[in-house]
Amino acid sequence: MFGNTALAALLCLLLCGLNRRLDASVLNCIPRKSVLHQNGSIKTFKEEGFFNYSTMLVREDINTLFVGAREAVYALNMEDISEKISTVYWTVPDSKQRECTNKGKNKDTECRNYIRTLHKIDDAKMYVCGTNAFSPTCAYMTFNKGQLLLENNFEEGKGKCPFDPFQRYASVLVEDHLYAATSINFLGSEPAFIRNSGNSLRTEFKASWLNEPNFIYMDMVEERQNNADGDDDKVYLFFSETAVEYDFYNKLLVSRIARVCKGDLGGQRTLQKKWTTFLKASLVCSVPELNVQLIVQDVFVLKSEDWRETIFYAVFIPQSGALDISAVCAYSMTAIQNVFSEGKYKAPVTVESSHVKWVMYSGEVPVPRPGACINNQARAMGINRSLDLPDKTLQFVRDHPLMDDSVTPIGSQPRLVKRGSRFSRIVVDRIAALDGKPYDVMFIGTENGFLQKAVNFDGEMFIIEEVQLFQPPEPVQSLTLSSKKGQVYAGSPSRVVQMPFSVCRRYETCLDCVLARDPYCAWDLAVNRCAATADRTADPQNLIQSVGKGDASSCPELRNIKTKTRTFIPGNNIQLKCSPISNLAQIHWTLNGSSIQLRNPKYYTYNGGILLFNVSVADAGQYTCQSVEQANGKQYPLTMAAYNLQPEQSQGQNTANAVTTQSPGTTQSPGNTRLTPTPPIVPDEWNPKIMLQTDDKRVLVFQILVGILACLLVCLLTWNLYKRHLPLPCVKPKVKEPSRKVPIDGVDTTAYQVSFNARGHFEASPLVNNCQTGTTVNSRITNNNNAARQRKDLDSFIIPSMLLGVDDFKYIDEESEI
């Protein structure tokens, strides 16, 4: 037992140390502003009876947002998504639904048509796919003159759309060719990365290629443009899978990035109709304080005019649910290219003829380089297509699809680390601030329905605000944005919401506006308000903004806060309201210009203000509340409230348990209307334990608790002694016939035969009548009366006297069957 206790204590210390380190790492990742659900800046679309708004397509060219839900596709106005333009309903035929149900799937949930694919083909046509009751189907959909129309030329959706509506998958449309990563069978046990075209290609069905993957995201990067090496465009796939390279006692998930070349045609003999350029590598995103594997959940590609400046943003969560940590990592195009173009390969090695271990391949690598696209070097060798590649190169890439090197994030650390609700989706917008520098603003959806807006300033993690999108809370299942409109669109199981990139009017003062470090907002001196930087009417010379440093020293001095007079009756409690300017600010109270010692049990501070107990005449004076926020090593105080606290001059008032109260928006001076004593106002954050802050009161409470426990222990011991559950070592029990007892080592071992008469009452008689010889004689039963003995045995039983007290029989139910 001592060993278990010591182990538990050691684990507790380790967890406490881990929590302290995590607090240090995520201290600056507290959202500066928390905005609860409100309809002022959030627009919502929902239709009763339809769910799972998980697929979205932004069409800025026609100012329309297309949303795929369960058995419906909606066309919504991007300016205001609550305005529905058109709808197409795509339900499942009864025959398909019965077939799905007969295969063991749920009729009301799984055997429906979930829209999972929406891709633009041209200005008026789109490609749409649905699960169709575990029978994936695709079709073309047109949008003309504000009307959606689903064409009847349905296509087989196997390899284009998942069977399971709740299984993650990824797809991208490149030059009318659909690249998709999904499971291609009903059971979901055969994953594949497929190009659906006239010359279809797919991955090998081998664990070394794909091992129980969970597909996340897919997109193409046009690397052929301005490329001196004559390289090809590439399609990148992000997913997680069970690792094959680690010898672990349990399944270990790892994050991966894979890529194929757009011009891949497969091999001539080896890898026929298979990818010849499929390579994958581990995707690393680790928190310095933790030694835990993080798993990718979503990816967003931030593209630039120069494809070399492309950045992949990804959100990660731990494999297990023990830690509530989420992280965002960013990866450069250069780091990804170096791993695939110059990195080492991993090779499987058989150990002891049974176990396969993956190690770095140190042998000779064939030429052309396995997995590489057809470039100028290959063309110089007479290889113009993947069909021309030698079998040696193809066999190598077939057996060595995994790279030994890992893709590490920019700066070798995350862009953001936060504790709390897990991240689920991410989109990123790049904006140039007034200082001329571009900033990548991350919009991150969470599992509890919040949207985090964050920026990384040269390694400094900063969350500008968090906004509650859904009430009641729902996970963010899909997320997209429109940089042209400045809007973010989020989908959940029950609705779609729209939110602008920023609501500058939330910042009421210059200090609040500048310290927000929001690239979309700046303080306009001309109109004395926080305005959007995109507003063309604002003069840049009148705008104050400091995104990189948060320097608010240029803000003008604020006018003095009007002092509110509060009166009190001595002996009562009084509340003075004051809230900080942000979650990062701290409240500082002064009395007549001197700081209040908050450790004094007379005061209790909370987010809504301060509570004074047992106010006396000596507590009268000028109370000032300041919100102090720190940015870049400098403190910025802002006076939030001022109170003139004076004793009530009137007499005759009932002061028993009264608190003087006044609305924060009114002013009252001594001698004006007398305040009627009211019950104490206690804020929600106030805990009654604050009344016991002195050591004497703590000791008194402790003594009372010890006394109560001692009384309970004495009562429990007395009851057990009374019931004879515990033996009395110094007291011998009183018995009427001591000669009938058989003591052995001081313990009464006499056995009683207990029988019940016709009325249900018991009769107990000892089975021993000769204590010296130990001969057992039953005085109630004679040897020549076998019939009576048999009847007696049926209605009686034997029990040792040490386990039986006479009083115990009164608890036996007379009607029970024994």
According to the model, what pLDDT value does residue 467 have?
96
Quick one: fold of 168-420? Methylamine Dehydrogenase; Chain H (2.130.10)
Among 243-252, 499-508, 585-594, 723-732, the range scoring the smallest mean pLDDT is 723-732
| For residues 481-485, average pLDDT | 96
Report H helices in 54-179.
94-102
What is the rounded distance in angstroms from the CA atom of residue 561 to the CA atom of residue 769? 100
At 353, the pLDDT band (50, 70, 90 cuts) reads low
pLDDT tens digits, one per residue of 452-474:
999 999 999 999 999 999 989 99
Encode pLDDT of 703-744 as tens digits. 788 888 888 888 888 877 777 666 555 444 444 444 444 444
Map tokens 């959100």 to a residue: 315
Please say whether the beta carbons of 236 and 215 come within 8 A: no
Q: In this prediction, what percent of the chain has a pLDDT beyond 70?
A: 78
Q: 328 pLDDT band (50/70/90 cuts)? A: very high
Distance of CA 30 to the CA centre of its chain: 15
Does residue 773 register a pLDDT over 60? no
CA angle 418, 421, 427 (to 5 degrees): 70
Topology of domain 564-693, CATH? Immunoglobulin-like (2.60.40)
- Calculate the alpha carbon distances from 763 to 135, 780, 782 in Å: 77, 11, 17
Each residue of 602-637: b (16+ CB within 10 Å) or e? bbbbbebbbbbbebeeebbeebbbbbebebeeeebe
Q: Where are the domains of the chain?
A: 47-156, 168-420, 564-693, 738-811
Q: Kindly report which listed range (71-80, 163-172, 649-658) carries the lowest average pLDDT score.
A: 649-658
pLDDT of residue 726: 63
Amino acid symbol at 289: E
Report pLDDT digits (tens) over 664-685.
Answer: 333 333 333 333 333 444 444 4
Could you tell me which of 413, 412, 370, 377 has the C-alpha nearest to residue 391?
A: 370
* pLDDT at residue 767, as a whole number: 47
Summarised one tens digit per residue, pLDDT across range 158-190 is: 999 999 999 999 999 999 999 999 999 999 999
Is the pLDDT confidence value at 82 over 90?
yes
More reliable by pLDDT, 247 or 529: 529
Q: What is the pLDDT of residues 367-415, one digit of tens each?
A: 999 999 999 999 999 999 999 999 999 999 999 999 999 999 999 999 9
- Quick one: which of 279, 276, 274 has its CA closest to 388? 276
Burial 320-333 (b: 16+ CB within 10 A, else e): eeebebbbbbbbbb
Q: Which residues contact 8 (CB under 8 A, 6 or more apart)?
A: none
The confidence band for 250, taking pLDDT boundaries of 50, 70 and 90, is confident
pLDDT at 118 over 90: yes
- So what's the pLDDT on residue 752? 45
Q: What's the mean per-residue pLDDT of the chain?
A: 82
**How confident is the model over 490-498, as a mean pLDDT?**
97
Strands 521-524 and 496-500, by their bridges, are: unpaired
